[in-house]
Structure 1
Amino acid sequence: MPRLVVAAPASGHGKTTIATGLMAALSRSGHRVSGHKVGPDYIDPGYHELATGLPGRNLDPHLAGEERLLPLLLHGAAGSDLAVVEGVMGLHDGMLGTDGYASTAHVARATHSPVVLVVDVSSASRSIAALVHGMVTFDTSVRVAGVILNKVGSTRHADEVVRALEGTGVPVLGIVHRDDGVVAPSRHLGLVPAEERDDAVAALDRLAARVAKAVDLEEVVRIAQSAPPLTGEAWDPVAETAPHTTVVPSQRRVVAVAGGRSFTFRYAETAELLDALGCDVRVFDPLHDEALPEGTSGLYLGGGFPEVHAATISANEPLRHAIADAVAAGVPTVAECAGLLYLCRTLDGAPMVGALPADAAMTPRLTLGYRTAVAPEEHLLAPAGGRVTGHEFHRTHVTPAHLGPDDAASGLSVAWTSAHGPAGFASPTLHASYLHTHWAGHPRMAARFAAAVTRWSSSPDGERQRARTDVSRPLGNGSVHVEVHGSVESGLDTRRPFVPHGAAARPAKSRATDPLRHHGDVEATDGLVDLAVNVHDGPRPPWLDDALRGALEHVGRYPDAREAEAAVAHRHTRPVEEVLATAGAAEAFTLLARARPWQHPVVVHPQFTEPDVALRQAGYEPRHVLLGHDFALEPDAVPDAADLVVVGNPTNPTGVLHPAWALRALVRPGRVVVVDEAFMDAVPGESASLADARLPGVLVLRSLTKLWSIPGVRAGYALGDADLVADLRAQQPPWSVSSHATAAIVACTSDDARAEAARRASQVAQHRAVLTDGLDALGVRHLPSAAPFVLAEVGTGVHGALRSAGWAVRRADTFPGLDDRWVRLAVRAPDVARRFLAALEIALQEARP
């Protein structure tokens, strides 16, 4: 297996930036890359996962044992053609007093991997050669195969360093100049996790492009291929747990795992071990979900940043009470670090679950280090005297840190003792402490927890508790999941009998009765301030008005869209055969629905409802895949049988921008993936767009209606395989693209238009921030949007209250997957947004029961 380790002389040289950029650049160049991290870090693997589309993995001798490094590497890299391992600290820095145990060099030796050294050269030139020479000769069992120069100031600076390095014999693989735009922001525990950064995808796209340009990727791959063959078996969760358990229940038990932005710390192998032990892992979000997953028989509350989100977590009282009830009922519960804080009575004064007689608070002192701990008494995760390895990483403290003998009546005992003293809380059904453990290194802990889950779920208390939760429950987005022939449908009844292709189309319902035909324009009636229609409310550029007026000279003859298609082909660097001008996105969906005999069409919701309307008019019954909490795209949720998949990016009405890798993951032989990019031109840099990608089986639809304020013109275009575009063209009526639409397409794909679009996209982002900041101040939940609108959960009755106060906002309950608690708000100028927020505050008060 080709592999390499990315290391540095010390922390701060840019390992994470370069390693993640390499993973992303190699992935985008066609390699299937697996990302790994030396040490216990949870944050960097999150960026690795974003770059590669595969779970980030950790390789840590202290946590998992040196003997498991190779098996875990083989397991994590299964199916990949190249593994990139990011180091930790300096190349030779490990546990203090151990001569480099658990260092990057240790892992490189154990996995027989060549090392690529990343060196910050911003404050030196020739001295860099001395530094690299020292890294090469200090331990010759570690092969430094190349160096990447980071934070270079100028070409002259780079030339000086490269000349000096010639004497070391270490090749320079790349020269990366300073670029603050690709540096991830930090806070009290290091980098901000990728899950908490709305700009993570855009930043990663910039980084991948920069690394691909600055680094010799072919030479990097050659170095990875020079690694010697590996022998041994890949880590197997079933084999690892077999010695520690005798029975895996035939009925799978639900283990609820805390996730979302506040709980991002957990190792991928944890869920894999639980799965092997007969547990069904289901993630819930303490920020937004108001109930535990149905049938919950176990709780795993891992690490993260509840201190950053304490107010929102505290405000979610229904979930806090549900967890308190579950712990009190004996549901087996593991709480590591952040989970410990969550179970306390308070966190920085904000009420938490209250399952532990303790309070948590931030502290200026960082607690960081490896631990070897012993269980003084038998508890949920360990027998008395059981020894584990782990680590601590936090800037909080809990008072009291543990309960003493005088508190025996509470039923809680000390979880662990170590050289740092007793800490944590434990019982036969509970473990809560600051200690992070990697269950791949201690599979018996996973087996004990799974056994407790099975025992509890089979007990009378478990049966009663599960009976109370085994009902269709609202999701965080207010919809209800109902399984229908393998697809996920919303609580909105949009099901119809299937009509074979070619049969007579059903008569369309009127706009007033069919929710899928409800559009925002019907909301914006006279006398109301319009936040319902997504059309840009600024003036059109003079050059666009000139083009539209000039089109009047051509209305005396039939329109010809070939000039428009040539302009689009030039704009996206595509052959003209891959472009079709359309009378807006609505026509494109109509052509698509009739282009081929689809067998299993799927529409990913919530999003624009026109694909459903078009498919039904063509005689199909599309299946829906409803996105879960935060409406992030999960490629695996789309049935493998789907031969047509329609998804919006950024989606209407959520505003969520799906990463390009997630969209690429939908591609299958024989499948057409349609990406509706109607609002992509309002995204700065058009990050995550596939318009220029030319991927087989991918059709990208664009609309010029919104950003350019021309809904009456109906102008857009489709980009895709020449064969697919030809199939759409065959369904298009002659002269459907008017002279004005043709003129608009030509004008809006010009260089002037691209510059103006960038300016407008930047302005939209600035104006959107005014709206979202105001929503935050009002305590209104909203989704992170990359579009010129925001989906906000204002509550039932607020839509009507706003309308009565003179404000038109788009109702969202006509979108599959949403209900009447949600509204879509178009981004407007700051003065309008502030007046709206004042009206919203009053409407929220009026709507409260």
Structure 2
Amino acid sequence: MTHLPRVVIAAPASGHGKTTVATGLMAALRRRGLAVSGHKVGPDYIDPGYHGLATGRPGRNLDPQMVGEERLVPLLLNGARGADVAVVEGVMGLYDGATGRQGFASTAHVAGVLDAPVVLVVDVSHAARSVAAVVHGMATFDPSVRVAGVILNKVASDRHAAEVRDALVEKGFDVLGVLHRDAGISAPGRHLGLVPVAEQRSAEASIDRLASRIEACVDLDAVLRVAATAPALDGTAWSAQDEVSPVGGEPLIAVAGGRAFTFRYAETDELLRAAGCRVVEFDPLVDRTLPQGTQGIYLGGGFPETHLVALAGNTSMLESLRSAVRSGVPTVAECAGLLYLCETLDGTPMVGAVPADARMTARLTLGYRRTETGVVGHEFHRTTLSTRSGETPAWVLDGESEGFALDPAGVGHATLHASYLHTHWAGNPSAAEEFADRGRRTTPHTESPSAHVVSVAGPADQRDMRTRPASVASRWHHGDRETGPGLVDLAVNVQHLDRPQWLDEALHASLRDRSYPDASRAVDALAARFARPAEQVLPTAGAAEAFTLIARARPWRQPVVVHPQFREPDRALLAAGHTPTHVVLHRAHGFELDPSAIPGDADLVVIGNPTNPTGRLHSAAAVRALCRPGRVVVVDEAFMDAVPGEPESVAGVQDSGLFVIRSLTKTWAIPGVRAGFVLGDPDVLSACAEQQPEWSVSSPALAALVACASPEARIETAERAAQVVEQRRHLERLLAERAIPFVEWSAAPFVLAQVGDGVRDALRDRGIAVRRADTFPGLDTTWVRIATRDHATTARLAAALDDVHQRRKAVLA
């Protein structure tokens, strides 16, 4: 038996505010320090995205139509592992379920299976005492459904609220909260409902504002008391490992993500990983090719019609996908994935792997579908296809063909399965195992070495990158390539403050020493600085060498790099013969680290803190939560000394497997000296030391490490960190005055700003160099990274931005 406090948020009908209240409750309860799991009744993909943003963990669906009634409790317990409370958002009206099935799959049905109390959200904008009659009817329609409280939404006034409350109390119902009208906390709509959270630039702010509203207007203690009345559950948490068997070979499955492909059940990835796959997310809007070595492709749902121009413009990705599908790489495409693989979508060229043309229509197709094989799926779209006859269908629904099962490589069986039908693999886990096995038996897809070469700098850089695909070559782009003679440098993060005299003296003194470098003094100084034994310290030639040593220290099976991120970890791992998996943190979730998003079998995890280029400062608790037996966690703290007090640093933490990399480059303005160090587990550290060439760290670098570990340096560090904060706030104010979106909570000496396409080049034309951001996985050409500088320099940037804006405005006029 498992005790899990839980509550279902329901309503008399759609449109009463279930998503608003449920998401706000999740966020408000999380603010209290509770671990909250969010769940959604039905097949909806978008609401769980908001739940994930509110709770900091994946939103989960509970759909008896798709997965079977018997899996509801196990799936709830799986999603709520380690949670203090579960909040389940209902679907439609409380008793609205599958047509003709007496409420099967309704909110009431699921609440009954979960044995959970129900809180009704009621829009009272057009009624008063009548609300009590509606609630009374809801509560007595099915006595097995326990309506434990009511939250009033869209109340007009205190007088109005009192009228409704009095009527409800007369009938024995508790009013747990009263929300007045607030249009600012509703998510924007689209032709298929809400806009996905990944496309909402202001989603984090909306969630934060909503949490504050719920805290002020809802009795959270009363909600928790209601949730605590739920009895213990008799069931075992669902586990992907129990559903499938590893197929062997670790096939790499490329899974579409990003703003255009936001629809995917969390269990899909979990099942594929349990089947032995390496799941790598790619963004068709940003990435130029599929991941090297792809052996399977999963294209889920989303809104390709909203991103037509960008998808069509990424011709190298179109070619990469077309080539992979035609070569027989197993591919599953659902709804948006189908549209993307068509010849055209609304006349715009797409991948061209499916012999069909798609177009938008006014007609909505919505509902569950059961295939002749017994699989239940869901359709939700406003498009239609013009197809050639004679193609083998993916499914047969009520005797009618649906989708495509194609064998483009002529291997004797269908390798491409594309249709409108969304399926939930937790209800059909054999699909994941079969897909993984097909991938295992498929030759890894590789891009032609000469394909898609992109020049990101001058001729020397072209020579260096000629043998790399663009998706890899562009990743090696560094901020120093943005600068040039006569340009104001806002691209490189090295601080422009003068070096202190004591550091210059230490550097000069080291050059007068004619002996070979001796690291012992630096090791002792760093060990004292971070209160560690000397065997836990290793000086390196900057952070770049540290990543190289770690990449070569062990035969990593499943290395993971958390992105957006510095370029060097990927480069080092690839050079050492490893193919890293990317876990991409998204703007919609505040670029916040979710430890549960890291594959369970990852034996190496690399993350920046604060992260380059977002400036996100992850909590030390979240970073330490990544640690587990058999795993090495590498934390790049290159910018931590720019954070006053370094509150989230783990440099002094001696957890097993935890590594910290630091560099003196940025704060002390010595990029040419290449001074860095690693702190961590002595067993792995010794393996790194074995890979290090003799005397790789120069005498000036070692002298700098000693000098910058001194008490005098710590005082100077604090002063420089405070100056960074002041300069960053000034830069943020100038951006805000110009309504330029930026990552508000940067803790680093730079700001990631969304200035728009073409603005980086326009600034360069005006003598300002900023760092392009589209070379960081998860970001596109609209973003740039701007280094903090003195007020006068930042004012030059502001003037250039104003000039760009005025010129564009004049052109449009």
Aligned counterparts of 1:332 and 1:212: Cα–Cα separation in 2: 48
Task: Provide the identity percentage.
Answer: 48
TM-score with structure 1 length normalisation?
Answer: 0.65
In the alignment, is residue 425 of structure 1 matched against residue 404 of structure 2? Answer: yes
Alignment of 1:370-389 (within 5 A): 370-374=368-372, 386-389=373-376
In the alignment, is residue 810 of structure 1 matched against residue 770 of structure 2? Answer: yes
Map of 2:609 onto structure 1: 647
Alignment of 1:721-740 (within 5 A): 732-733=711-712
Alignment of 1:592-603 (within 5 A): 594-597=529-532
1:121–1:128 Cα contact (<8 Å) kept: yes
Match of 1:344 among 342, 363, 367: 342
1:122–1:152 Cα contact (<8 Å) kept: yes
1:64–1:438 Cα contact (<8 Å) kept: yes
Aligned counterparts of 1:593 and 1:790: Cα–Cα separation in 2: 42
Evaluate the alpha carbon distance shift between residue 181 and residue 253 of structure 1 in structure 2; reply closer, same or farther with a 3 A threshold.
same
Map of 1:314 onto structure 2: 312
Match of 2:738 among 761, 767, 774: 767
Aligned counterparts of 2:167 and 2:527: Cα–Cα separation in 1: 60
Evaluate the alpha carbon distance shift between residue 140 and residue 219 of structure 1 in structure 2; reply closer, same or farther with a 3 A threshold.
same
Compute the displacement of 1:127 (Å). 1.8
Aligned counterparts of 2:742 and 2:616: Cα–Cα separation in 1: 22
Cα deviation digits, residues 700-730 of structure 1 (max 9, x gap):
xxxxxxxxxxxxxxxxxxxxxxxxxxxxx99
Which amino acid in 2 is paired with 1:93?
A: D
Map of 1:124 onto structure 2: 127
Which amino acid in 2 is paired with 1:212?
A: E
Map of 2:801 onto structure 1: 833
Evaluate the alpha carbon distance shift between residue 121 and residue 259 of structure 1 in structure 2; reply closer, same or farther with a 3 A threshold.
same
Map of 1:716 onto structure 2: none
Which amino acid in 1 is paired with 2:204?
A: V
1:413–1:426 Cα contact (<8 Å) kept: yes
Which amino acid in 2 is paired with 1:222?
A: R
Which amino acid in 1 is paired with 2:623?
A: L
Aligned counterparts of 1:321 and 1:644: Cα–Cα separation in 2: 31
Map of 2:160 onto structure 1: 157
1:600–1:642 Cα contact (<8 Å) kept: no
Map of 1:416 onto structure 2: 395
1:294–1:471 Cα contact (<8 Å) kept: no
Evaluate the alpha carbon distance shift between residue 691 and residue 396 of structure 1 in structure 2; reply closer, same or farther with a 3 A threshold.
farther
2:564–2:776 Cα contact (<8 Å) kept: no
Map of 1:83 onto structure 2: 86
Evaluate the alpha carbon distance shift between residue 66 and residue 675 of structure 1 in structure 2; reply closer, same or farther with a 3 A threshold.
farther
2:249–2:440 Cα contact (<8 Å) kept: no
Map of 1:289 onto structure 2: 287
Which amino acid in 1 is paired with 2:290?
A: L
SS of equivalent to 1:358: strand
1:262–1:287 Cα contact (<8 Å) kept: yes
Which amino acid in 2 is paired with 1:394?
A: H
Evaluate the alpha carbon distance shift between residue 467 and residue 734 of structure 1 in structure 2; reply closer, same or farther with a 3 A threshold.
closer
Match of 1:269 among 247, 262, 267: 267
SS of equivalent to 1:440: helix
Cα deviation digits, residues 278-313 of structure 1 (max 9, x gap):
222111110011111121111111101111111111
Map of 2:356 onto structure 1: 358
Aligned counterparts of 1:600 and 1:136: Cα–Cα separation in 2: 67
Alignment of 1:529-544 (within 5 A): none
Map of 1:239 onto structure 2: 242
Aligned counterparts of 2:212 and 2:29: Cα–Cα separation in 1: 10
Map of 1:398 onto structure 2: 385
Compute the displacement of 1:130 (Å). 1.4
Map of 2:110 onto structure 1: 107
SS of equivalent to 1:367: strand
In the alignment, is residue 41 of structure 1 matched against residue 44 of structure 2? Answer: yes
SS of equivalent to 1:357: strand
Aligned counterparts of 1:357 and 1:640: Cα–Cα separation in 2: 39
Map of 1:666 onto structure 2: 623
Mean CA deviation greater in 178-187 or 290-299? 178-187
Compute the displacement of 1:664 (Å). 5.7
Aligned counterparts of 2:455 and 2:532: Cα–Cα separation in 1: 36
Map of 2:77 onto structure 1: 74
Compute the displacement of 1:413 (Å). 0.3
Aligned counterparts of 1:3 and 1:23: Cα–Cα separation in 2: 11
1:126–1:164 Cα contact (<8 Å) kept: yes
Which amino acid in 1 is paired with 2:195?
A: V
Aligned counterparts of 1:823 and 1:321: Cα–Cα separation in 2: 27
SS of equivalent to 1:666: helix
2:492–2:771 Cα contact (<8 Å) kept: no
Compute the displacement of 1:373 (Å). 1.9
1:340–1:434 Cα contact (<8 Å) kept: yes
Compute the displacement of 1:157 (Å). 2.2
Which amino acid in 1 is paired with 2:563?
A: G
In the alignment, is residue 438 of structure 1 matched against residue 406 of structure 2? Answer: no
SS of equivalent to 1:128: helix
Which amino acid in 1 is paired with 2:46?
A: I
Compute the displacement of 1:598 (Å). 8.7
Evaluate the alpha carbon distance shift between residue 399 and residue 439 of structure 1 in structure 2; reply closer, same or farther with a 3 A threshold.
same
Aligned counterparts of 2:536 and 2:158: Cα–Cα separation in 1: 53
1:294–1:469 Cα contact (<8 Å) kept: no
SS of equivalent to 1:116: strand
Map of 2:137 onto structure 1: 134
Compute the displacement of 1:134 (Å). 1.2
Map of 1:447 onto structure 2: 433
Mean CA deviation greater in 443-452 or 145-154? 443-452
Compute the displacement of 1:674 (Å). 7.6
Unaligned runs of at least 5 residues, structure 2:
407-413, 466-471, 495-524, 552-558, 566-583, 586-590, 628-632, 654-707, 744-748, 788-793
1:185–1:192 Cα contact (<8 Å) kept: yes
Unaligned runs of at least 5 residues, structure 1:
243-247, 375-385, 482-487, 494-514, 536-589, 603-610, 682-689, 698-728, 773-784, 842-849
In the alignment, is residue 25 of structure 1 matched against residue 28 of structure 2? Answer: yes
Match of 2:216 among 213, 216, 227: 213
1:33–1:83 Cα contact (<8 Å) kept: yes
Which amino acid in 2 is paired with 1:324?
A: R
Map of 1:628 onto structure 2: 563
Compute the displacement of 1:31 (Å). 1.5
Map of 1:708 onto structure 2: none
* Number of equivalent positions: 651
In the alignment, is residue 93 of structure 1 matched against residue 96 of structure 2? Answer: yes
Aligned counterparts of 2:737 and 2:456: Cα–Cα separation in 1: 26
Aligned counterparts of 1:209 and 1:163: Cα–Cα separation in 2: 26
Map of 1:710 onto structure 2: none
> How much is the aligned-residue C-alpha RMSD, in angstroms?
5.4
Compute the displacement of 1:763 (Å). 5.8
Aligned counterparts of 1:264 and 1:78: Cα–Cα separation in 2: 24
Evaluate the alpha carbon distance shift between residue 818 and residue 41 of structure 1 in structure 2; reply closer, same or farther with a 3 A threshold.
closer
Compute the displacement of 1:125 (Å). 2.1
Compute the displacement of 1:790 (Å). 4.9
Compute the displacement of 1:835 (Å). 3.8
Compute the displacement of 1:824 (Å). 4.1
SS of equivalent to 2:72: helix
Evaluate the alpha carbon distance shift between residue 53 and residue 227 of structure 1 in structure 2; reply closer, same or farther with a 3 A threshold.
same
Map of 1:328 onto structure 2: 326
Evaluate the alpha carbon distance shift between residue 736 and residue 830 of structure 1 in structure 2; reply closer, same or farther with a 3 A threshold.
closer
1:36–1:56 Cα contact (<8 Å) kept: yes
Compute the displacement of 1:342 (Å). 0.7
2:9–2:120 Cα contact (<8 Å) kept: yes
Aligned counterparts of 1:13 and 1:477: Cα–Cα separation in 2: 51
2:282–2:291 Cα contact (<8 Å) kept: yes
Aligned counterparts of 1:299 and 1:372: Cα–Cα separation in 2: 24
Compute the displacement of 1:453 (Å). 1.9
